[in-house]
A and B are shown apart, each in its own frame.
Chain A
Amino acid sequence: EVQLVESGGGLVQPGGSLRLSCAASGFTFSGYWMHWVRQDPGKGLVWVSRIITDGSRTSYADSVKGRFTISRDNAKNTLYLQMNSLRVEDTAVYYCARDRGNYYGHGAFDIWGQGTMVTVSS
Chain B
Amino acid sequence: DIQMTQSPSSLSASVGDRVTITCQASQDINNYLNWYQQKPGKAPKLLIYDASDLETGVPSRFSGSASGTDFTFTISSLQPEDIATYYCQQYENLPFTFGQGTKLQIK
Contact = CB atoms under 8 A, between A and B. Distances in A.
Interface of A: 35, 44-47, 50, 59, 61-62, 95, 100, 106-110, 112-115
A39 to B, nearest CB: 9
By size class, the interface of chain B is 20 to 34
10 contacts: A44-B99, A44-B101, A47-B89, A59-B94, A95-B43, A95-B44, A106-B91, A107-B34, A109-B89, A112-B45
Nearest to B91: A107
Contacts of B32: 107
Contacts of A44: 87, 98-101
Nearest to A99: B91
Contacts of A109: 34, 36, 44, 46, 89
Contacts of B49: 100, 106, 108, 110
Interface string B43-73: 1111001100001000000000000000000
Given A44-B87, A44-B101, A45-B87, A108 B46 contact: yes
A76 to B, nearest CB: 22
A114 B43 contact: yes
Given A47-B98, A59-B95, A107-B32, 18 more contacts: A44-B98, A44-B100, A45-B38, A45-B44, A45-B87, A47-B95, A47-B96, A47-B97, A61-B95, A95-B43, A107-B34, A107-B91, A108-B50, A108-B91, A109-B89, A112-B44, A113-B43, A114-B42
Nearest to B32: A107
A95 B50 CA distance: 22
Contacts of A110: 46, 49, 55
Nearest to B38: A45
Nearest to A48: B95
A92 B43 CA distance: 13
Interface centre among A45, A95, A115 (most CB of B within 10 A): A45
A114 B98 CA distance: 19
- Closest 9 A-B residue pairs measured CB to CB? A107-B91, A112-B43, A108-B49, A47-B96, A45-B98, A108-B34, A61-B95, A110-B46, A44-B101
